Chain A
């Protein structure tokens, strides 16, 4: 079992709608979680971090963490074509090392 699992997609969402990306993790010792955005051929870019149960909002992005269910999600409101990318979920272990999921490819349809 992978330590961090994501629904691999691809996920297609109409422009202006809400995109929902999900991630589960197996290491209960993981304390912090991250969402990275990766455009094709580019390196990952950090867009959200969360370490407390509940929601964290930043502009059009909301990260949600449920430690009891070992579940992390990212919501993107008012999706734009520029949001089309692969989204990587990562968990931070005890040595501050990040373990990544395989990513979910998101396409926003104009």
Chain B
């Protein structure tokens, strides 16, 4: 296990379709974060998990978005009824709780294009 893994790397979908992304964190990391990044902007926080518990959700996470982390391992982010405004890079990151000052390790991201 050499890092955070995200799948798929790229996803093109038609407006109105549902999409699901997967993130596998570094195995001993108990925190998992989802961010969204649009062109020319920094990553924006969406939600995070500590083990299997979802502890915080951003106002950016509309009711069309849902995230899960069953058993505190991998996580999925689902977007229902996609809109063109959902086109972005979706980034997953993981860390170990209590390691303040160590930052996150990001995965390669999933680039979503809604046409």
Contacts and interface: CB of A to CB of B under 8 A. Distances in A.
Interface of A: 4, 31-32, 34, 36, 42-46, 49, 51, 88, 90, 92, 95-103
B43 to A, nearest CB: 5
Majority SS at the chain A contact face = strand
A34 B42 CA distance: 13
Interface residues of B, number: 27
Of the listed residues B100, B104, B107, the one surrounded by the most CB atoms of chain A closer than 10 A to its CB is B104
A102 B40 contact: yes
B40 to A, nearest CB: 7
Contacts of A45: 106
Interface string B19-43: 0000000000001010100001111
B42 A88 contact: yes
Contacts of A102: 40-42
Given A43-B91, A97-B45, A34 B107 contact: no
Nearest to A50: B101
A92 B42 CA distance: 15
B48 A97 contact: yes
A3 to B, nearest CB: 11
Given A96-B31, A96-B97, A97-B33, A46 B103 contact: yes
B56 A95 contact: yes
Given A32-B100, A96-B97, 19 more contacts: A31-B100, A42-B108, A43-B91, A44-B43, A44-B91, A44-B106, A46-B104, A49-B102, A51-B100, A92-B101, A92-B103, A95-B55, A96-B31, A96-B95, A97-B33, A100-B42, A103-B40, A103-B41, A103-B42
